[in-house]
Amino acid sequence: MRWIVGGKAAQGCAASPSQMGRFETRWLATETNLSALTDLSGQWIDLVHSRRPPRGIVLDMDSSVSPTHGEQEMSIWNGHYRCTCYHPLFVFNQFGDLERCALRPGNVHSANGWESALKPVVERYQGKVSRLYFRADAAFAMPEVYEYVVAAWIKYALRLPANQVLQNRIAICSSARSGGRRTKSDDTTPTSPIRQEAGPNRAG
């Protein structure tokens, strides 16, 4: 690494792991630097888009699991993933670029902190693209999320949580349309919740 850096570094001493650890704790962990690191991926994406501006952006939000070992801060047992872990939150675009992320304790709800992750990304794109879309799974199907995307004129696709009452009503309607005759679809129980796709100009 010293030779790659070149200059005086080639003949100097490299930083030890403990020195790097102190650097990360003293400098990178400050509020200003953490904020800058959080915005960094978005700044890189903006530089790419300045050369090849996209017409529309699809923002995909989801949580994930990051297993941990040892007694690390915010590392907590997660019953869903059955491990001690962090439960980070991510926002990607349709090109697979990471727009923003947040490191969270292992036991938080999947949608915890969605505002601080999604809103800065939306604000970056407002006025820059003609179409903005948002998609997420059932964990984000909350009134607050619906209200925000509609108010921001974002078309969205949110997976609905399983709803047995709604599925029973659909089965009744399907049976009535077929005149009470059993159809092939009647023999199949839906295995996935219904998807809802809507926007400010479309009925939800």
**pLDDT at residue 148 tops 90:** yes
Q: What is the pLDDT of residue 192?
A: 42
Distance CA(132)–CA(59), nearest Å, equals 8
Q: What is the pLDDT of residue 124?
A: 95
For residues 189-197, give the mean pLDDT: 44
Beta bridge partners of 198: 156
Lowest mean pLDDT among 10-19, 75-84, 87-96, 115-124: 10-19
Handedness of CA 47, 48, 50, 53 (dihedral sign): negative
CB atoms within 10 A of CB 187: 7
What are the structure tokens assigned to 169, written together?
Answer: 């009503």
DSSP state of 104: -
What is each CA distance from 173 to 22, 81, 165, in whole angstroms?
65, 37, 13
DSSP state of 10: G
**pLDDT at residue 189 tops 80:** no
Q: What is the mean pLDDT of the chain?
A: 84
What are the sequence ranges of the domains in the chain? 13-53, 54-198
Q: What is the pLDDT of residue 179?
A: 66
For residues 141-167, give the mean pLDDT: 91
Distance CA(93)–CA(133), nearest Å, equals 10
For residues 178-200, give the mean pLDDT: 49
Greater model confidence, 62 or 72 = 62
Q: What is the pLDDT of residue 182?
A: 54
For domain 54-198, the question of CATH label 3.40.30.10 is answered with no
- Cα–Cα–Cα angle for 131, 123, 149, rounded to 5 degrees: 60
Most confidently predicted of 29-38, 55-64, 165-174? 55-64
For residues 97-124, give the mean pLDDT: 94
**Greatest CA separation for the chain:** 87
This prediction has a pTM of: 0.69
